[in-house]
Structure 1
Amino acid sequence: MNEIKIPELAESITEGTIAEWLVKKGDKIEKGDPVVELETDKVNVEVNSDFAGVITEIVSEEGEDVEVGDVIAKIDENGEAGGDASAEEPKEEKKEEAPKKEEPKEPAKEDASNNKQDVIASPAARKRARELGIDLSSVQARDPLGRIRPEDVDSAAKGGSDKKESKPAKKEEPKKSEKTEFDKPVERVKMSRRRQTIANRLVEVQQEAAMLTTFNEVDMTNVMKLRSERKENFIKKHDVKLGFMSFFTKAVIGALKEFPLLNAEIQGNEIVMKKFYDIGIAVSTEEGLVVPVVRDADRLDFAGVEREIGNLGKKAINKELGLNDLQGGTFTITNGGTFGSMMSTPILNAPQVGILGMHNIQKRPMVMPDDSIEVRPMMYLAVSYDHRIVDGKDAVQFLVRIKELLEDPYDLLLEG
C-alpha cells in the first residue's frame, strides 16, 4: 500500500486546502496523473500521484487544510478498479468464520454508508469523527440547519450515541448562543485560503507601511483620439486590440525611470533600488484579487504589453496562473474604473512601495487655458506610496509625470 502525500510546492508555500478531488475511491490511476486540486495562498495547484494503482482511501476531504508531507490518500498498486480489494478480502474471511453473525451486520454497514452521504457535516467534523472512530450518522447536530460541527462529534464521543440523552443539551445551548449574536437568519461561509491571505496581507501592509495617497486627474482626449486613429491598423498588424492598459503601463515605466524610489523596496535597513520593470496588473477573479506580473515591460512594445496582459488575464480567470506568474513585481497598476469607481485609495502590494489606481472615465466641463469651457473625458488617478522611503514631493511629481505622458501620448507611443 502506497501513500499520496502533499509534495514540496514552493519555497513560500507550506500548506493549502483541498479544493477538489479529481479522483474517487476505487478509481484506477497511472503514475503522474493529477489526483487533487490544492488551493494555496497564491494559486491552485494540482497534486500528481507518484504511483500507479487503485485509490483505496481518501484521507483528507474537500475543504480540509493540509500541510506539506501530509498523507491525503492511499493507493494499492495491485488493486482492481471499481472496488477496494483490501476492504473486500476481510469480509470474505469473516463470512467463512461466522456467517450467521456477519449477515445482519453487512446491511447495517451499507445503511450507515448511505446515511453518511446524507449527513451534513463540516470537513473539520468529518476529520474529527475519523480520529475518534465516531459514526457521523449517530451524531446529532446542534445547528438548527442540521450541520454537524467538531464540538458535536466531541459531545457524541463523551456522552455516547444515545440520542435521547443528548437532545435537551443540543436544543438549548446553541439556540441561546445564536440568539445573542443574531436575531435573524444568517449564513456562515468559511473564507477561502486565498481570501484569508489577502485579508492578512492587506492588514499587515497598513500596519507596517506608512501609506499615503496622492490624487490627480488626467485628460484622456488624446489617448482616446490616438486609439481611434490606430486601432484598426494595430489589430491587423499585431492581432491584438490597442487598449488603455498599454498606455498606462508605458507611462508608469517612464515616470518610474525619473522617480526610481517608487520602483524600490525596503529590506531591513536598506533600500533596494530595482533596475528592472516588472509591472503587476491587478485582476479581479471569483476567488479574489490576484496580481500577475508583466516581466520586463520596458522591453515590450505596446502590442507586447497588450498581448501579455491579455494572456495573464485569461489565465487568471481560468485559474491557470502559476507561481511564476505572480512572484516578484516592482510596481502595481489597478483599474477600479472597470467596475465604475470614480475614486479610490489603492492599498500597496507589499513589498512594493507604490501602486497606481485608475478610475472611470467621465465627461466633465473643463476650463481651458484660454478660459473657454470644453467637455473632456477625464479620469481621476491615485498613487499610494510608502512614506518611509518616498517623500510626498516625489510621489506628487511622479503622478504629474504620468499625467503629462498620457496627455501627450504620441511621444509615448514613439518612445515605447
Structure 2
Amino acid sequence: MAEIIVPELAESITEGTIAQWLKQPGDTVEKGEFIVELETDKVNVEVISEEAGVVSELLAAEGDTVQVGQVIAVVGAGSGSTASAPAPAAQSEAKEEVKATEAPKTPVAEETTNEQDRTIASPAARKLAREKGINLSEISPVDPMGRVRVQDVSAHGSAPTTTKAAPPSAASATKEDDGRTTREKMSRRRQTIASRLLEVRQNTAMLTTFNEIDMTNVMALRSRKKDKFFEDHDVRLGFMSFFTKAVVAALKKYPYVNSQIDGTDIVKNNFYDIGIAVSTEGGLVVPIVRDADRKNFSEIEANIGELAKKARDNKLALSDMSGGSFTITNGGVFGSLMSTPILNGTQVGILGMHTIQKRPVAIGNEIEIRPMMYVALSYDHRVIDGKDSVGFLKTVKELLENPEDLLLES
C-alpha cells in the first residue's frame, strides 16, 4: 500500500486545491504516473504515484483545500480497471464501493443523489452526513463560498427534526429562477489573486507616476530589422525585448527600484530577473526572464515566447515564477490607453505598458502625428522617492526613443 501525499510545492505555498483527479478508485496506476492535479495560487501541479497498483481510496474531493504533507489518496496492491470510474462529482460515493467492509448504501432517488453530488463539501463532512442520513443539499453552510464542513453537518444534525433551513427570500429566489444572475465559485487562483492585490494596496505606500514615449524610432528600427532578425534567430522581434533591456538599464541606474523590504531592511537585488505578466484563462501569471541583463534581444524574445506558451498551456513550473525582482505588464495588448498597475508581491516597482496610439505632438515648433505610448511606474513610496521614480521612467523613455543606445546602456 502506498499513500499519495501533497508534495512540497514552494517555499511560500503551504496548501493547494484538488483541481482534478486523473485516476479513480479501481483504476490501475503505474509507478511515476500522474494521479491528481493540484491547483495553487500560482500554477497547477500534477502529482505522481510512487508505487504501481490500484487506487483504493480517494481521501479528498475535487475542490477541497489540502495541506502540504496531507495524505489525499491510497494506492493498494493488485491490478484493476483502467476504465473511467464514476464522475468526479460522485467520488465520495465511489469510495464506498471499494470498501467491502462497509455497510451497503441506502437506495435514494436519483434526483436527490445528484443534488448531493453538486454540493461542495469536505470528505469529512460527506462522511458524517452519510452516517447521520442527512442530505447535503439541505444544509446551510456558514462558509460564504458555500462549502459544507463538519461543523455545518453537526449543527444541522443536532437541530430538531422539524426545523428546516430558512427558505431563500422572494427577491433572491426570483433572481436565481429568472436567470438574471449566475453564481460562479471563484477558483483558488482567483481568490488568491484578489487577496494578494488587496494586501498590496493595504500594506504598501503605492504611488504611480506616468510618462509617454514616442515610439517612432523603435518602431522604425523594428520594421527594418524584423525580417533579418527572424531569419537569423527563428524568433520574432517584438517590443518586449526593447522594454526589458530599457528596464534593466534603468534599474542599474536606480537600484532602489530593483529592491524589496524585509522588516526594517531594504534588500537591493544585484540580479535582474524580470517578470513578464501573461494573461491566461485562469488569471494573470508572472513568469520570470532570468538574468535579463546577460541575455541579448533574441534570447529575451525566445524566453518570453516559451514562457507565454507554457502559461497558456498551464505548464508553468513554480520555478518559472519565483524570485523576480521587477515586473513589466502590458495592458496595451487589450487596448488599454492608461492604467495604474498594482505591485507584484514584495517587489517595489512595476512598469505598465499601454496601447500605441497616434496623436498630435509638438516636435520643435511643428505639430506632427506620432505613435505614442503612455507608460506607468507604480512604486512603493516607502523605498522609492519621487526623484528616483521619475528618473527611472525618464530613462526608460529616453532609451526607447533612441533605441540604438540600448546596445550601450543595457
TM-score w.r.t. length of structure 2: 0.86
How big is the shift at 1:181? 9.9
Structure-to-structure mapping, 1:313-328, within 5 angstroms: 313-328=308-323
Decide which of 312, 334, 337 is 2:332's aligned counterpart.
337
Distance 1:89 1:37, change over 3 A: closer
Distance 1:397 1:152, change over 3 A: closer
How big is the shift at 1:337? 0.3
**1:71: which partner in 2?**
71
**2:380: which partner in 1?**
386
Distance 1:205 1:27, change over 3 A: same
What amino acid is the match of 1:388?
R
Query: Are 1:31 and 2:2 an aligned pair?
Result: no
What amino acid is the match of 1:40?
T
Query: Are 1:43 and 2:37 an aligned pair?
Result: no
Distance 1:318 1:229 in 2: 32
- Report how many aligned residue pairs link the two structures: 393
1:144-180: CA deviation from partner (whole Å, max 9, x where unpaired): xxx99558855763469x8xx56xx34x433369469
Query: Are 1:376 and 2:370 an aligned pair?
Result: yes
- Larger % of helix: which? 1
What amino acid is the match of 1:53?
G
Distance 1:2 1:17 in 2: 21
Question: What is the DSSP-based 3-state SS (H/G/I as helix, E as strand, rest coil) of the residue aligned with 2:272?
Answer: coil
**2:354: which partner in 1?**
359
RMSD in angstroms over aligned alpha carbons? 3.2
Distance 1:125 1:305, change over 3 A: closer
How big is the shift at 1:339? 0.5
Q: Which runs of 5+ in 2 are unaligned?
A: 86-93, 141-145
**1:98: which partner in 2?**
none
Distance 1:412 1:2 in 2: 56
Contact 2:250-2:395 within 8 A present in 1 as well? yes
Structure-to-structure mapping, 1:13-162, within 5 angstroms: 13-81=13-81, 90=100, 116=113, 119-124=116-121, 127-134=124-131, 138=135, 141=138, 153-154=153-154, 157-158=157-158
How big is the shift at 1:415? 5.5
**1:349: which partner in 2?**
344
1:80-128: CA deviation from partner (whole Å, max 9, x where unpaired): 336999967958xx9xxxxxxxxxx97x757679963564432316641
Question: What is the DSSP-based 3-state SS (H/G/I as helix, E as strand, rest coil) of the residue aligned with 1:303?
Answer: helix
Question: What is the DSSP-based 3-state SS (H/G/I as helix, E as strand, rest coil) of the residue aligned with 2:62?
Answer: coil
TM-score w.r.t. length of structure 1: 0.85
1:21-78: CA deviation from partner (whole Å, max 9, x where unpaired): 1111110112221100001122111111122211122221111111122221222213
**1:409: which partner in 2?**
403
Contact 1:345-1:382 within 8 A present in 2 as well? yes
Contact 1:115-1:137 within 8 A present in 2 as well? no
1:229-267: CA deviation from partner (whole Å, max 9, x where unpaired): 001000000000000000000111111111111111111
Q: Which runs of 5+ in 1 are unaligned?
A: 95-104
1:308-351: CA deviation from partner (whole Å, max 9, x where unpaired): 01111111111111111111111110000001000001111131
**2:187: which partner in 1?**
192
Query: Which moved further from structure 2: 133-142 or 226-235?
Result: 133-142
Distance 1:262 1:148, change over 3 A: closer
What amino acid is the match of 1:270?
D
Which structure's CA Rg is the greater one?
1
Distance 2:282 2:356 in 1: 27
Distance 1:113 1:56 in 2: 25
Question: What is the DSSP-based 3-state SS (H/G/I as helix, E as strand, rest coil) of the residue aligned with 1:78?
Answer: coil
Contact 2:116-2:136 within 8 A present in 1 as well? no
Query: Are 1:224 and 2:219 an aligned pair?
Result: yes
Percent identity among equivalent residues? 53
**1:99: which partner in 2?**
none
Distance 1:383 1:134 in 2: 58
Structure-to-structure mapping, 1:157-168, within 5 angstroms: 157-158=157-158
